[in-house]
Structure 1
Amino acid sequence: MTENTRTVLRLKRATVNKVTTPGHFTAKPSQATDKTGNKQHRKNRKKLDRLVLLWPDAFNLENPRPLAIGVDKALAADIECRQLSGAGSLRFSLGLYVHRSAYIKVLAAGGQRYDLNGKPQGEVTAEQQERARAQRKQKTALRTEDAKCA
């Protein structure tokens, strides 16, 4: 009989004498984090946009205003009242909003605080302003430190 000359399909590719030495990497780890960072940024932006869409009187990405103390509880109650899905995501979005540098800058400036309906409710105290200024300093220090490392 004749010998079978067909090629055999394999699941694993044959290696081509590739020798890796310790400390030798083929791909930079920073490249992978750049793509995931951009994807995460887009996801966070969508969450913030949803927050602005649902409560336009309270949340504004271009011109943020200080939120009233306890707005998280009012937000949770409103979510339950409206029967909105994704309550955890909306609470996370609130955290994203209040940790933005633009919001911290406005908080450091002081002024009125606003509730979910956009009505004034209290003022930013001097202690809260000082804490916001310290937070801004810390963020700028981290940015300059990161810029030096890059």
Structure 2
Amino acid sequence: MSRDHTLEQVAEMARQAEIICRLWEDHPHHLEDCEHSALATLVRRLSGNVAAWLIEEQAEKSKKKMKKNAKHKHKQMLRLISIFPALLSEEEPKPFKVGILEDMTKYIADNQITFGIGQVKSALARYTSNYRYQKALAAGGDRYDLDGNPCGEVTPEQQAAAKEKTKAIKAVYNGKG
């Protein structure tokens, strides 16, 4: 429906429905039963078309906003990767040490880099929810610090959780989630 009508046409439908309702309200005893039924049908159709158009428009706006937000978060993640290239990689992610957020925020503050804690958290969330990162966690092995040096290991519990997340990500990607 959204693609079939313009905003002006939908506004006109709403105006027509309002006029019909006003006339109906002001002159209820001047109408026959069949006219009441016809007006009710007309108002239902007009208001239904307006409602459907508004719902589709809102869905389209939400979709565009989500896409824009996803691009913004991806840019934040890429910026974080550029600050910590020894640790972070989009193509070959490695599990980072537990507590890496604190290390990152300290490094950013110490080096007077403009990157707020909320942006760091958002970028890390984007990074760690990535299939490749979860696959690296599922494989187990070492965890790494900011300089890319081994610093702890992935536990079997963390591996199992990552395996479940990779399955969930695959299911969503394949349209089954």
TM-score, length basis structure 1: 0.77
The aligned residue for residue 133 of structure 2 is 103
Q: Please identify which structure carries the higher helix content.
A: 2
Unaligned runs of 5+ in 1: 1-12
The aligned residue for residue 133 of structure 1 is 163
Deviation sequence 1:67-119 (CA, Å, 0-9, x none): 11111111111112112223221222112111112111110011211111111
Q: Contact 2:140–2:153 (CA<8 Å) still a contact in 1?
A: yes
Q: Greater CA radius of gyration, 1 or 2? A: 2
Q: Contact 2:142–2:154 (CA<8 Å) still a contact in 1?
A: yes
Matched, 1:71 2:100: yes
Displacement of 1:18:
4.2
The aligned residue for residue 110 of structure 2 is 81
Displaced runs of 4 or more, over 6 A: none
Supply the RMSD in Å over aligned alpha carbons. 2.3
Displacement of 1:59:
0.7
Deviates more, 1:86-95 or 1:59-68: 86-95
Unaligned runs of 5+ in 2: 1-7, 18-45
Deviates more, 1:41-50 or 1:91-100: 91-100
The aligned residue for residue 68 of structure 2 is 39
The aligned residue for residue 25 of structure 1 is 52
TM-score, length basis structure 2: 0.66
148 and 18 in structure 1: CA distance in 2 versus 1, 3 angstrom threshold: farther
* Count of paired positions: 134
Displacement of 1:141:
4.0
Secondary structure in structure 2 of the residue aligned to 1:64: coil
Q: Contact 2:73–2:122 (CA<8 Å) still a contact in 1?
A: no
Displacement of 1:123:
1.5
Displacement of 1:30:
3.3
Displacement of 1:51:
0.4
